[in-house]
Amino acid sequence: MVGCYNNCDMMGENQDIEVIDEIIVESNKKNKVKKMNKLNGLRCYLAGPIDHAKDDGKGWREDAEKWLENKNAYVFNPCNKPISYQAYKEIDEEKTKMMSLKSSGRFFELTKRMKEIVHVDLRMVDVSDFVVVYLNPQIGMFGTIHELINSLNQRKPTLVVIEGGKEKAPNWLFGIMDFNFMFDSFDELYEFLTHIDEGFIEADLGRWVFFE
């Protein structure tokens, strides 16, 4: 009988251990699911030069848009605005028309067109959860800087990729934002965003807002 009691006790202990192990496994699964894909549903605006970019700034934005959409993020791309009204467009034929207005001195018409574009682009910054900025020191930019400053002032996560790396960044930039959010390449940016998405690094909740 003693042997039976011992065996029964051992069986009971083993069952308890198995139950505990199952609880731990399920808990880890839930925590993993909860941590994964934090970018899901977040809105991102892509800021960068258009006026003086050879491809109207479309190339890098298309690549970034695909990457972010694979993370289930919603992308605001000013080269492909989520709005059908033609006056809000600023690339291809519309860009050519505006450059023509400027070269011919038709500044009143240009002002009217650009006010509409600026309104829509800044509105996309306003409603974004985070902003990706591409800075190329060799390309003239004005709207990009405006969007960058607006994003920082609104305490949004503002992630800046700099052509040529941080050492090519304007000195002023180091005075207005954390250099840890400046990146030497898009690959480096995507690695950072992957860590944020998968919960491997703690996001600054003073800037990032995740909805469950």
Tokens of 85: 């009204």
Question: What is the predicted pLDDT for the residue at 36?
Answer: 82
Confidence of residue 35 (pLDDT cuts 50, 70, 90): low
Residue whose C-alpha is closest to residue 183's, from 200, 201, 202, 163: 163
Q: What would the DSSP string read from start to end of 170-194?
A: -HHHHHHS-GGGEESSHHHHHHHHH
Question: What is the predicted pLDDT for the residue at 82?
Answer: 84
Q: Taking 90 as the threshold, does the pLDDT of residue 203 lie above it?
A: no
Q: Taking 70 as the threshold, does the pLDDT of residue 11 lie above it?
A: no
Distance CA 150, CA 42 (A): 18
**Average pLDDT value for residue range 136-144:** 92
Q: What would the DSSP string read from start to end of 23-74?
A: HHHHHHHHHHHHHS-TTTT-EEEEE---TT-TTTTHHHHHHHHHHHHHTT-E
**Average pLDDT value for residue range 123-134:** 98
pLDDT averaged over the chain?
85
**Average pLDDT value for residue range 32-53:** 86
DSSP-assigned beta bridge partners for residue 131: 45, 158
Q: Taking 90 as the threshold, does the pLDDT of residue 3 lie above it?
A: no
Q: Which of 19-23, 54-58, 130-134, 139-143 has the highest mean pLDDT?
A: 130-134
**Average pLDDT value for residue range 103-114:** 91
**Average pLDDT value for residue range 116-138:** 95
Question: What is the predicted pLDDT for the residue at 142?
Answer: 93
Question: What is the predicted pLDDT for the residue at 90?
Answer: 73
**Average pLDDT value for residue range 55-71:** 96
Task: List Cβ neighbours of 86 (8 Å cut-off, separation of 6 or more).
Answer: 94
Distance CA 89, CA 121 (A): 10
Question: What is the predicted pLDDT for the residue at 15?
Answer: 58
Cross-sheet strand order for the sheet of 158-162? 74-76, 43-47, 130-135, 158-162, 182-183
Q: How many CB atoms lie within 10 A of CB 44?
A: 25
Q: Which residue has the higher pLDDT, 80 or 189?
A: 189
